[in-house]
Amino acid sequence: MDCGVQTLKDLVEFASYFAVILGVPAAFIQYVRATRREQRDREYGTYDELDDKYIEYQQAVPPASRAGRLGH
């Protein structure tokens, strides 16, 4: 009976090592992906906000005034 318990203990220990070996790299990959996704979302938000402000500017300022400001 003692041999069966030891075998079960070894099997569970091996399974825990296997989970760690697979889990740590998977967690790191998930972290990198999430970080990149957050950066991409921030950049998109910045560009989208800038685009909205430019559209507001185009609607607020008459075309003749914009041409004068650009040196035309």
Where are the chain's structural domains? 24-72
CA distance 6 to 14: 12
Residue 70 has a pLDDT of 58
Residue 34 has a pLDDT of 98
Q: Which pair of tokens denotes residue 43?
A: 């950049």
What is the pTM for the complete model shown? 0.58
Would you say residue 48 has pLDDT above 90?
A: yes
Amino acid at 26: A
Asked if residue 58 lies in contact with residue 66, where contact means CB atoms within 8 angstroms, the answer is yes
